[in-house]
Amino acid sequence: MAEHALKEMSRHGRLKVGTFVVEFNTPGIGQILKAAGCEYVLLDMEHSGFGFDTLKQMLRYMQAGDMPAIVRVPSREYHHAARAMDMGAEGIMLPMVGSAKVARELLSYVKYAPDGERGVALQIAHDRYEPGDTKKKLRDANRRCTFVALIETAEGIENVDDIAAIEDVDVLWIGHFDLSVSMGIAGQFDHPDFIAAVARVVQAAKRNNKSLGRLVPNVDVGVALFQEGFDFICYSGDVWLLQQSMREGAEGLRAQCKRGRRRPKR
């Protein structure tokens, strides 16, 4: 896996297409997604039930497929963020970033001194088990770490300009369902207040030259968001893609076979 792939992606506004993994943990998953055209993957620990043993396996599967991975950890606790980094996460997403103060605190969990307070363990998964100069390892790890601020509360919208202004925040990511719930308009993505909130995030990203990300259910929504300024487009997820493909195939077979010739009963 390219050592700084996600960091490099976050530094330009060109389209990056990925997907969301919330269910399937299999050795071939990284290579399968690579062959399908994915450029990155979002591994979810908040809603999936994936534990850290599973995460460690999955990061090796992604490594085998040369697939950059963002890991959404299950909470804003230090031990969740730091353990994910130690296991080799290049991109880290923590839930409900509501203020610049919170963002800076979370950044301290995933950056080594002098940039943060992450505890040091070397020659393990995150540095490929290789020996080397300690200062260089810490410096390289800080440069490689890609921080994705998940904006999914009304508080986060209110403070998004301050969050976006932090140098080490690389990507602003809208958690659209949680944001709509926080705003009291659950699932109403065409509500004027929700549209205005998204516009505030887009403008904050543009003013501070930050990348923008969101999960999208289909191509049309992804294209519309890209035109608004989103560049990390996370296209659907493993469960929904399988369901959609199976449903379309099953319905198509049933419809066409119903019209066709039936085999006579004996």
What average pLDDT score do residues 82-91 get? 95
Cα 76 to its chain centre, rounded Å, is 15
Neighbours of 199 (CB within 10 A): 12
pLDDT tens-digit readout, 227-248: 999 999 999 999 999 999 999 9
Query: pLDDT class for 265, splitting at 50, 70, 90?
Result: low
**Which tokens sit at 163?**
């969050």
Q: What is the DSSP letter of 98?
A: -
Q: What's the average model confidence in pLDDT over 103-132? A: 96
Contact 229, 210 (CB under 8 A): no
Cα distances from 112 to residues 1, 5, 181, 259, in angstroms, run 22, 20, 35, 65
| pLDDT band at residue 1 under the 50/70/90 scheme | very low
pLDDT in tens, 58-76: 999 999 999 999 999 999 9
The overall average pLDDT reported for the chain is: 95
Q: Per-residue confidence at 259, pLDDT binned at 50, 70, 90? A: confident
